[in-house]
Amino acid sequence: MMTIQQKMYETTVKAVGGRNGYIESSSPELRLDIDTPKEMGGAGGTGTNQEQLFAAGYSACFDSALNMVARMQRVKHEGTEVTATVHFDKVEGAHEQCPYSRATRGNIEVKLNVL
């Protein structure tokens, strides 16, 4: 039997300049400066970084899942809070070593196109 999947939501975010650039989307509009942390040899700055963005997305997703499971199991609670900590090791080799690539390997299709 074939299952037809219907897209519920899609978004696209463009990154320009890597660790010293910015990210932006058009719908809804989002633009954030990216700055390399001092600990990684950068100037620091007031921008965010990839590790903060990953931790934000992961903690928000996990907190939503936690609340859903609590509701499904009829567990009474007054709210939840999830904190995610992400660290970056000294590594080489983009796709093999990228923390995002390692975290999602095997469960998200990744296609690399170098232009």
SS3 16: strand
CA distance 96 to 110: 12
Domain 49-109 in CATH 3.30.300.20? The answer is: yes
Residues of the chain below pLDDT 50: 114-115
Q: What CATH number is given for 13-48 in this structure?
A: 2.20.25.10
Q: Where are the domains of the chain?
A: 13-48, 49-109
Tens-digit pLDDT profile for residues 70-103: 889 998 888 788 888 776 655 755 666 676 777 7
Sequence-distant (6+) residues with CB within 8 A of 100 are 50, 54
Name the percent of the chain in helix, strand, coil, to the closest 5.
35, 15, 55
What's the confidence (pLDDT) of residue 72? 92
